[in-house]
Structure 1
Amino acid sequence: MALSTPDVNRAETFYRDTLGLRHLYRFGELTFFDCGGVRLLIEKSEHLQSPAQASAIYFSCRDITLGVSELERRGVAFKSRPHLVAPMEDHDLWMAFFEDPDGHTLALMHEAPKGYIPMIT
């Protein structure tokens, strides 16, 4: 998976320091992260793909309330509070959406036990 950015340093700092992804390496204007076993490439581009055209990246977490609180503490502004997206047969799917500095859509995702209600502040 790949995202483009006009500022690789800014993007690298956000994904490494704010989101806490494991930084693999950097080669010139390409920087790579481990994203749960999937390699995420962030590359400099003067011809940016519109964030609306890029696919959203969903980060699984064990507790969406704690995840949102921690990322807000690190300066992330959420576009939506944790909300139930899909009641599944054996669990409920909760999400909270935010953006990276370039406007790419990201989300925390929690596959919670049926009936789970997050402590939304």
Structure 2
Amino acid sequence: MEPRLTVITLGVEDVDRSLAFYRDGLGFPVLERFGEFICFELNGFALALYPREAHAEGANLDPETTGTGDVSLAHNVRTREEVDELVAEAEAAGATITEPPGETDWGGYSAYFTDPDGHCWEIAAGAELFEQFI
């Protein structure tokens, strides 16, 4: 299998609430909307939203046993100031800040927040390994 990522789909409870969070709150550009399937264009791949139950059922999973698990989506930036700005933007959009911006044990600067469905995001600066993706 070729190592690449094309789409991350998040199962959400309320598609319209999540659309408002990502499109209006964070400024993600909508690529397409097919009913309750919403796709945002990111840098080189897509982020999709789909009702949680329909998403689980499409994968032949019990919707009662699925969840966000121990996964985070990371957005790396160049400066600490950008981390602060993006975390403030996310909070204004309705995110819950789970770890405020601060120094990390790996020498960088990062923060964590969750979207309205509990999907975890990290905003980080100083991770040289990932600078090629910024």
**Match 2:122 to one of 73, 87, 107:** 107
The Cα offsets for residues 43-76 of structure 1, whole Å up to 9 and x where unpaired, read as 11322631225x3111123421222233334443
Distance 1:43 1:110, change over 3 A: same
Are 2:19 and 1:12 equivalent residues in the alignment?
Answer: yes
Write out aligned runs for 1:36-55 (5 A): 36-46=43-53, 47=63, 49-53=66-70, 55=71
1:36 Cα deviation (Å)?
A: 2.3
Aligned residues: 108
Query: What fraction of aligned residue pairs are identical, expressed as a percent?
Result: 31
Greater helix content: 2
RMSD over aligned Cα atoms: 2.2
Are 2:77 and 1:58 equivalent residues in the alignment?
Answer: no
Distance 1:41 1:70, change over 3 A: closer
- Report if aligned partners of 1:61, 1:67 keep a CA contact under 8 Å in 2: no
Structure 1: segments with no counterpart, 5+ residues: 114-121
TM-score, normalised by the number of residues in structure 1: 0.75
TM-score, normalised by the number of residues in structure 2: 0.68
* Secondary structure of 1:80 counterpart: strand
1:77 Cα deviation (Å)?
A: 2.9
Structure 2: segments with no counterpart, 5+ residues: 1-7, 54-62, 129-134
Q: Which residue of 2 aligns with 1:85?
A: 104
Amino acid at match of 2:35: G
Cα distance in structure 2, aligned partners of 1:11 and 1:73: 14
Cα distance in structure 2, aligned partners of 1:65 and 1:112: 16
